[in-house]
Amino acid sequence: MTPTLPRTVRAVDTSQLLDLVQEAATHSFSQRLPVEWLREHLAEEATHYVFPTLVQRLTHRPEVPLQWRCQQLLTVSTGEQIWGLLDVLPGTFDKIPETLDTASKKDIVSRIQHVVTVREWMERMTGGQSEETTSP
């Protein structure tokens, strides 16, 4: 049975986000940024946000566990917020503490609609020459 997709936003610090991305890399999930890229570009003391948007099951790769495709709102070293995707195991997401109130969650979801993607931010930072990443 497919777990029910939670309709919530979870806040994580940079260290927690790096752990989520490392787990995604271990499972070869397709939506993730390289850990090294994140270490280089994320603001160290920032809070980042992840929220599941769809259940991802790779029927062509049955060895890959079910995952939740999450949108993420990241704060980078310039202080800007950017948008990306991250595939997360349901059990891992469930272990992230619920710390945000309803108004904060709505604000985060609204903000993500007005920020640039990781790719757009990188193109702007490198003068149009985008580094290779595996997430938008």
Domain boundaries, the chain: 10-125
Instruction: Name the β-bridge partners of 72.
Output: 50, 84
| pLDDT tens, position by position, 71-88 | 999 999 999 999 999 999
8 A C-beta contact, residue 52 and residue 93: yes
* CB within 8 Å of 118: residues ≥ 6 apart: 33, 74, 82, 83, 84, 133, 135, 136
In angstroms, the CA 84 to CA 74 distance is 8
Please tell me which residue, 81 or 28, carries the higher pLDDT value.
81
The verdict on pTM exceeding 0.75 is yes
Average pLDDT over residues 41-59: 92
Q: Is 124 helix (H, G, I), strand (E, B) or coil?
A: helix
> Which range (16-20, 31-35, 69-73) has the least confidence?
31-35
45-49, 51-55, 110-114, 122-126, range with the lowest pLDDT:
122-126
Q: State the DSSP H helix or E strand holding residue 68, giving kind and residue range, or none if neither.
A: strand 67-75
What is the pLDDT confidence band of residue 128, given thresholds at 50, 70 and 90? low
Across the beta sheet with 47-56, the strand order is 10-13, 47-56, 67-75, 81-88, 116-117
- Measured CA to CA, the distance from residue 84 to residue 128 in angstroms comes to 18
pLDDT band at residue 129 using 50, 70 and 90 as cut-offs: low
Q: Are 37 and 131 in contact (CB under 8 A)?
A: yes
What is the maximum span of the chain, computed from C-alpha positions, in angstroms? 47
State the average pLDDT over residues 25-44.
Answer: 90
Tell me what the pLDDT averaged over the chain comes to: 89
pLDDT in the model for residue 134: 45
